[in-house]
Structure 1
Amino acid sequence: MTGRHTTARTAVDRALARIADVERPEIWISLRDAQDLVAEAAAVDARVEAGEDLPLAGLTVAVKDNIDVAGLPTTAGSASFSYEPAADATAVARLRAAGAIVVGKTNLDQFATGLVGTRSPFGAVRNAWDPARISGGSSSGSGVAVALGIVDLALGTDTAGSGRVPAALNGIVGVKPTKGLVPTTGVVPACRTQDVVTVFARDLQLARTAVETMTGLDGRDPLARTDAAHAALPPRARLAVPLPAQLDGLAAGWREAFEAAVSTARSAGFEVVERDISALLDAARLLYEGAFVAERYSAVGAHIDEHREQIGGDLDPTVAGIIRAGAAPAAHELFADMERLDELRLRGAEALEGCAALLTPTTTWHPTLAEVAAEPIAANSRMGRFTNFANLLDMAALAVPSGLVDGLPFGIMVTGPAFTDRVLAQIAQRFQAAPRRLFVVGAHLTGEPLNRQLVSAGGRLVGAASTVGEYTFHALATTPPKPGLVHTGSGGATIAGEVWEFSAEGFAAVVDAVPPPLAIGSVSLADGTRVAGFLATPAALEGAVDISARGGWRAHLAAV
Structure 2
Amino acid sequence: MSVATLSEWVASYRQHPQQLVAAYQQLNANLSRDDNAWIYLATQDEIYAQLTTVFQAINSGEKQAEDFPLLGVPFAAKDNINVAGMPTSAACPAFTYTPEKDATVIARLKAAGAIVVGKTNLDQFATGLVGTRSPFGAVKNTFNPEYVSGGSSSGSASVVARGLVCFSLGTDTAGSGRVPAGFNNIVGLKPTKGWISTTGVVPACRLNDCVSVFALTVEDAETVAAVAGGYDPQDPYSRSNPHTAPARFNEKPRFAIPDQLEFFGDKYSEAAFAKTLQRLEQQGAELIPIDFTAFNQLAEQLYYGAWVAERTVAVGEIFKNQPEAMDPTVRGIVANGLKYTACDAWQAEYTRAELAQKINAQLSEFDALVVPTSPTIHTLAEMAQEPVRYNSQFGTYTNFTNLADLCALALPGDFREDGLPAGITIIAPAWHDQALSHFGKSWQQALNLPLGATEKTLPATLAAKISANHVRVAVVGAHLRGMPLNHQLTTRHAVFIEESRTAANYRLYALANTQPPKPGLAKSPSGQPIAVELWDIPLARFGEFVAEIPAPLGIGTLTLEDGRSVKGFICEPTALHDATDITAWGGWKAWLARHHSA
Matched, 1:89 2:95: no
Matched, 1:246 2:252: no
| Alignment CA distance shift 1:207-1:250 (3 Å) | farther
* Greater mean alpha carbon deviation, residues 180-189 or residues 350-359: 350-359
1:464-495: CA deviations, max 9, x gaps? xxxxxxxxxxxxxxxxxxxxxxxxxxxxxxxx
Counterpart among 285, 288, 296 of residue 273 in structure 1: 288
Residue 392 of structure 2 is matched in structure 1 by 381
| Alignment CA distance shift 1:345-1:126 (3 Å) | same
Moved over 6 A (4+): none
Which residue identity is paired with 2:10? R
Which residue identity is paired with 2:344? E
Instruction: Give 5+ residue unaligned stretches, structure 2.
Output: 1-5, 14-19, 456-598
1:10 & 1:403 partners in 2: Cα distance?
Answer: 38
2:380 & 2:170 partners in 1: Cα distance?
Answer: 21
Query: 1:149-164 residue pairs with structure 2 within 5 A?
Result: 149-164=163-178
Q: What SS is found at the alignment partner of 2:300? A: helix
User: In the alignment, is the contact (CA less than 8 A) between 1:363 and 1:386 conserved in 2?
Assistant: yes
User: In the alignment, is the contact (CA less than 8 A) between 1:28 and 1:105 conserved in 2?
Assistant: yes
Residue 69 of structure 1 is matched in structure 2 by 83
User: In the alignment, is the contact (CA less than 8 A) between 2:263 and 2:269 conserved in 1?
Assistant: no
Matched, 1:201 2:212: no
Post-superposition offset of 1:374: 0.9
Counterpart among 254, 273, 298 of residue 283 in structure 1: 298
Which residue identity is paired with 2:318? H
Q: What SS is found at the alignment partner of 2:250? A: coil
Post-superposition offset of 1:250: 5.5
Post-superposition offset of 1:427: 2.0
User: In the alignment, is the contact (CA less than 8 A) between 1:264 and 1:431 conserved in 2?
Assistant: no
Matched, 1:28 2:38: yes
Post-superposition offset of 1:218: 2.0
Post-superposition offset of 1:187: 0.4
Residue 357 of structure 1 is matched in structure 2 by 368
Residue 317 of structure 1 is matched in structure 2 by 328
1:283 & 1:230 partners in 2: Cα distance?
Answer: 24
- The number of residue pairs the alignment matches comes to 435
| Alignment CA distance shift 1:39-1:122 (3 Å) | same
For normalisation by structure 1, the TM-score amounts to 0.74
Q: What SS is found at the alignment partner of 2:316? A: helix
1:413-471: CA deviations, max 9, x gaps? 0001111111111221232233xxxxxxxxxxxxxxxxxxxxxxxxxxxxxxxxxxxxx
Q: What SS is found at the alignment partner of 2:358? A: helix
1:298-350: CA deviations, max 9, x gaps? 11133212003xx2xx3101101111211210111112222222221222223
Query: 1:398-409 residue pairs with structure 2 within 5 A?
Result: 398-405=409-416, 406-409=418-421
Matched, 1:41 2:51: yes
User: In the alignment, is the contact (CA less than 8 A) between 2:254 and 2:367 conserved in 1?
Assistant: yes
Counterpart among 352, 359, 363 of residue 341 in structure 1: 352
Query: 1:133-282 residue pairs with structure 2 within 5 A?
Result: 133-227=147-241, 228-232=243-247, 233-243=249-259, 245-249=260-264, 251-282=266-297
1:195-218: CA deviations, max 9, x gaps? 000000101111111111111112
Post-superposition offset of 1:45: 4.6
Q: What SS is found at the alignment partner of 1:295? A: helix
Post-superposition offset of 1:57: 0.8
User: In the alignment, is the contact (CA less than 8 A) between 1:159 and 1:196 conserved in 2?
Assistant: yes
Which residue identity is paired with 2:396? R
Counterpart among 43, 58, 64 of residue 72 in structure 2: 58
2:419 & 2:26 partners in 1: Cα distance?
Answer: 27
Query: 1:423-442 residue pairs with structure 2 within 5 A?
Result: 423-434=435-446
User: In the alignment, is the contact (CA less than 8 A) between 1:268 and 1:431 conserved in 2?
Assistant: no
Q: What SS is found at the alignment partner of 2:36? A: helix
Which residue identity is paired with 2:439? I
User: In the alignment, is the contact (CA less than 8 A) between 2:129 and 2:394 conserved in 1?
Assistant: yes
1:252 & 1:13 partners in 2: Cα distance?
Answer: 45
Which residue identity is paired with 1:125? V
1:122 & 1:432 partners in 2: Cα distance?
Answer: 33
| Alignment CA distance shift 1:236-1:350 (3 Å) | same
User: In the alignment, is the contact (CA less than 8 A) between 2:161 and 2:454 conserved in 1?
Assistant: no
Which residue identity is paired with 1:154? S
2:421 & 2:328 partners in 1: Cα distance?
Answer: 30
Post-superposition offset of 1:10: 4.6
Aligned-pair Cα RMSD in Å: 2.0
Q: What SS is found at the alignment partner of 2:421? A: strand
* Greater mean alpha carbon deviation, residues 31-40 or residues 277-286: 31-40
1:89-148: CA deviations, max 9, x gaps? 000110111011000111110000000011011111111111111111111111101111
* Greater mean alpha carbon deviation, residues 193-202 or residues 263-272: 263-272
For normalisation by structure 2, the TM-score amounts to 0.70
Residue 11 of structure 2 is matched in structure 1 by 5
Counterpart among 12, 28, 51 of residue 16 in structure 1: 28
Post-superposition offset of 1:274: 1.2
Instruction: Give 5+ residue unaligned stretches, structure 1.
Output: 435-503, 514-560
Residue 372 of structure 1 is matched in structure 2 by 383
1:237-289: CA deviations, max 9, x gaps? 2111111x333426222112112111222232221111112211110010000
Matched, 1:106 2:120: yes
